[in-house]
A = this chain, B = another copy of it.
Amino acid sequence: MTRADTRIQKKNQAVILEAGLKVFSQYGFRGSTLDQVAEAAGLSKPNLLYYFRSKDAIYTALLAKLLENWLEPLRAIDPMGEPVDEILAYATRKLDMSQHFPRESRLFANEIIQGAPRIGEVLSGELRELVDEIAVVIDGWAAAGRIKPVDPYHLIFTIWSLTQHYADFDVQVRAILGDVDPFDGAATHLEAMLRGLLQPK
C-alpha cells in the first residue's frame, strides 16, 4: 500500500518537519530554500519531495501543527477559576512555551509579520472567537469586582507580546542581559506586572 505509514515514513516525515521548523522559523517561507531544509534534514532534495508534495506542503504542515498548540492554552482558561490565578497561569504557560519552543514562536511571528497569508482566516475566525469568549469572561470578572477593570483584549495582547518577545527577540534580549538567563527574571516580572494590573486592592 502506498498509503500505509511505515516506520520509515513516520520517521522521515518527523525529521523533515523538524528541519523545516529550524529553517522556516529563522528565514520565513520565502527566505528559506528546499536545499536548506534538505541539508538540515540530512536528506536529498528529491527525497524531501517524496514525503511532501512541495515546499509549501512542508510549511503548511508546520503551521497547522503549530496552530493547535497555539490556541490550546487559551481554551484552558477556566471561567470558574480564581481570576488572577487563571490569568497568571495562562501567562506562565505562554512564557514556558516561549522558553521551550522558541522556534515555533518565531515561525508564527514570521508568518504574522509577513501578513499572515496562510492563516489570516484562522486569526479572524477561530482565534477571534476564542478571544471574544475569554474577553466576556474577563469582563465578567471585572464587573464582579474580582479584578480591577481592564480592557480584556489589550490585556491578552500584553501577555502575548511579552511572552513571545522572549522567544522572538531572543537575540536582542540575550545581547542586553549578557549571561543572565532571561527566563529567570521574566517569570517574576510578568507576575508582578499582572498582579499590579489586575489585583483589586
Residues of A in contact with B (beta carbons under 8 Å apart): 26-32, 106, 109-110, 112-116, 120, 123-124, 127-128, 131, 148, 150-151, 153-155, 157-158, 160-162, 164-166, 168-169, 171-173, 175-178, 185-186, 188-190, 192-193, 196-197
Contact = CB atoms under 8 A, between A and B. Distances in A.
Contacts of A150: 189, 192
Q: Is the interface of A mostly helix, strand, loop or mixed?
A: helix
A165 B168 CA distance: 11
Contacts of A162: 157-158, 161-162
Count of chain copies: 2
**5 closest residue pairs by CB, A with B:** A30-B31, A161-B165, A196-B196, A154-B189, A31-B31
Contacts of A190: 154
Contacts of A28: 27-28, 30-31, 110, 114
B31 A171 contact: no
A175 B124 contact: yes
Contacts of A185: 151, 153-154
Query: A27, A112, A123, A154 — which one has the most chain B CB atoms within 10 A of its CB?
Result: A154
A120 B128 CA distance: 36
Nearest to A164: B161
B127 A176 contact: yes
B112 A171 contact: yes
A169 B176 contact: no
Contacts of A116: 171-172, 175
Given A165-B157, A197-B196, A112 B172 contact: yes
Given A114-B31, A154-B185, A123 B165 contact: no
